[in-house]
Structure 1
Amino acid sequence: MPDLERVLDRGETQYKCSNKLLALKWKDKHEVFMLTTMHNSEVSGTGRIDKDTGEEKRKLHCILDYNEYMGAVDLSDMMFSSTECVRRTVKWYKKVFLHLLDIFNSHALYQSSTGNKISLQVFQMKVIDQILEKYHSQIYSH
């Protein structure tokens, strides 16, 4: 990775590029680092006006693409961050199961297939209750 050490103000970008690779550091609320082979250092207007200067705000294409296409991933990460069920446990298979439950986003599948709008926490408790009901005798017989 190239050295991108300069301190940036909000909205500023520092980048280095070669023929096929663009490495950049962009400052919004926090510093964002990106590495891309799909973009170059071209800048475009965002359609928003800077209230201080009155000019159109401009950003690199890779930042605009990230903002346009990664919203669902960020939303998913945000939803699971507060209800992450993978905790420290000795049983590795419990971690795998609970992590897969989060990753496959069964909550979203449930809502889209049934039309029932329930919170993620309520959904997870229902799944846990159903698993315990079905396998209760097998779990406690060992």
Structure 2
Amino acid sequence: MAAVNVLLSKDPEGSGIGTVETPSVKELEQLLNTGRPSCNHADEVWPNLFLGDLAAEFIHKALTTPGAKILVHCAVGISRSSSLVLAYLMIFHHLSLVEAIQTVKEHRWIHPNRGFLKQLRNLDIQLRGHEAKKKETHNDQQN
């Protein structure tokens, strides 16, 4: 699998803390164009989660039910449904967008459209900012 270059930059708020930048949409598309093209009617892309249009909260609630399995589907199963699964992994399993893409691509070929990639990228930036603030608060409480 091809590596994606991730840049280290200063925090936009000027705190001087180094953060990992979310790759550009073009870099994300390059990542999506790597790996094996596998597209079955239902592929297990996370334990008991099958990619095949549901919200991340619904997916999370369903997967916390003992014995539950989820099939997330759309017309072709490579853009809309994969975007929902990526968002779920980012929100509830704290994966970065790149980690979520790599995880799902290990099991199924996906290719969210450019509009969904932009939204996922914005979500990644938002979640990373939230995680950085949580860590900063935790560090302040320990000092």
TM-score (norm 1): 0.25
Larger radius of gyration: 1
TM-score (norm 2): 0.24
Q: RCO (CA 8 Å, sep 6+): is it higher in 1 or 2?
A: 2
